[in-house]
Structure formats: structure tokens, C-alpha cells
Structure 1
Amino acid sequence: MSQFTVSGQFQSRDGYSKFQTAVEAPNENVAREHVLSNIGSQHGLKRTQIEISEVTAA
């Protein structure tokens, strides 16, 4: 498995909050899905409220 760094922003009470997180996944698409799932569950957001701007292999 490869290490990916995923960055973007999500809607919060004060506007948008930026995030950057490292994820271990077999490919870029799976890394995106993990981040959408994790941030959505932690902050009570839907996938449409999360914007991923960049996914890079570490």
C-alpha cells in the first residue's frame, strides 16, 4: 500500500475549514474515498460538503 496526502476544505460554521491528512491506500481513488468517509463521519458532513483539491503520493 502507498501513502497519500489528501488536502482540501469542508464547510463548517465559520465558512470553510482547510484540511490535510495522510492516508494509506492501494490507489488514489481509494484514498479519496477514505478521506470523504472519515471527515464526513467526524464532522457530520455529506460528501457534497467536502472539496478535495489535491491528492499526492508521499
Structure 2
Amino acid sequence: MSQFTVTGQFKSRDGYAPFETTIDAENENVAREHVLSQLGSQHGLKRTEIDLEEVSE
């Protein structure tokens, strides 16, 4: 498994809040899905409210 760094922003009360997180995943698509799932669960967001800007290994 590789480590991926995912950066982006999500909709919050004060506009958009930036984030950066590191995830262990098999590939880039799995890392994207994991981050969307995790942020949606933690902050009560829909996938359309999360903007992933970059996924790098």
C-alpha cells in the first residue's frame, strides 16, 4: 500500500475550509473514495460539497 496526500476544500459555515490529509490506499481512486467517505461522515457533508484538488503519492 502507498501513502497518498489528498488536498482540497469543503463547504462549511464560513464558506470553504481547506484540508490536507494523508491516507494509506492501494491506488489514487481508492484514496479519493476514502477521503470523500471520511469527510462526509465527520462533517455531515454530501460528496458534491467536497472539492478534491490534488491527490499525490
- Superposition TM-score tier, normalisation by shorter sequence: over 0.9
Q: Aligned letter for 1:11? A: K
Q: Percent identity?
A: 70
Distance (whole Å) between structure 2 residues aligned to residue 34 and residue 18 of structure 1:
17
> What is the match of residue 55 of structure 1?
55
Superposition pairs of residues 9-24 of structure 1, within 5 angstroms: 9-24=9-24
Q: SS of 1:20's equivalent?
A: strand
Aligned residues: 57
Give, as a single letter, the amino acid of the residue that structure 1 aligns with 2:48.
T
1:6, distance to aligned residue in structure 2 (A):
0.1
4+ runs deviating over 6 angstroms? none
The root-mean-square deviation of aligned C-alpha atoms, in Å, is 0.2
Q: Structure 1 residue 40: deviation in Å?
A: 0.4
Q: How does 1:10-49 map to 2 (within 5 A)?
A: 10-49=10-49
Distance between the aligned counterparts of 2:30 and 2:48, measured in 1? 17
Give the distance between the partners of 1:17 and 1:40, measured in 2 at CA. Answer: 14
Structure-1-length-normalised TM-score: 0.98
Structure 1 unaligned regions, length at least 5: none
Aligned partner letter, 1:6: V
